[in-house]
Amino acid sequence: MPKINEEKREERRVIILQSAFQVFSRKGYAQASMEDIVQESGMSKGGIYHYFKSKEELFLALAEERLQKRHALLGEDQPLTSPSARLRKYLREALINLGDEGVKQEVRFAVEFWSVRARESDILKLSKPRYRQFSDDLSQILHSGVESGEFRKDLEIQATIYLILCALDGVGFVSSVMGIPPPPQSVDRFVEMILKDVLQNSNP
pLDDT at 204 (0 to 100):
44
Predicted confidence (pLDDT) per residue in 182-201, tens digit = 888 899 999 999 999 999 77
pLDDT at 3 (0 to 100):
52
Predicted confidence (pLDDT) per residue in 111-153, tens digit = 877 777 777 777 777 777 778 878 888 999 999 999 999 999 9
Are 10 and 93 in contact by the 8 Å Cβ rule? The answer is: no
Residue type, 173: F
Confidence of residue 4 (pLDDT cuts 50, 70, 90): low
Domains, the chain: 1-53 (1.10.10.60), 63-198 (1.10.357.10)
Which DSSP string do the residues of 75-113 spell out, in sequence order?
-TT-TTS-HHHHHHHHHHHHHHHTTSHHHHHHHHHHHHH
pLDDT over threshold 50, residue 19: yes
Are 165 and 90 in contact by the 8 Å Cβ rule? The answer is: no
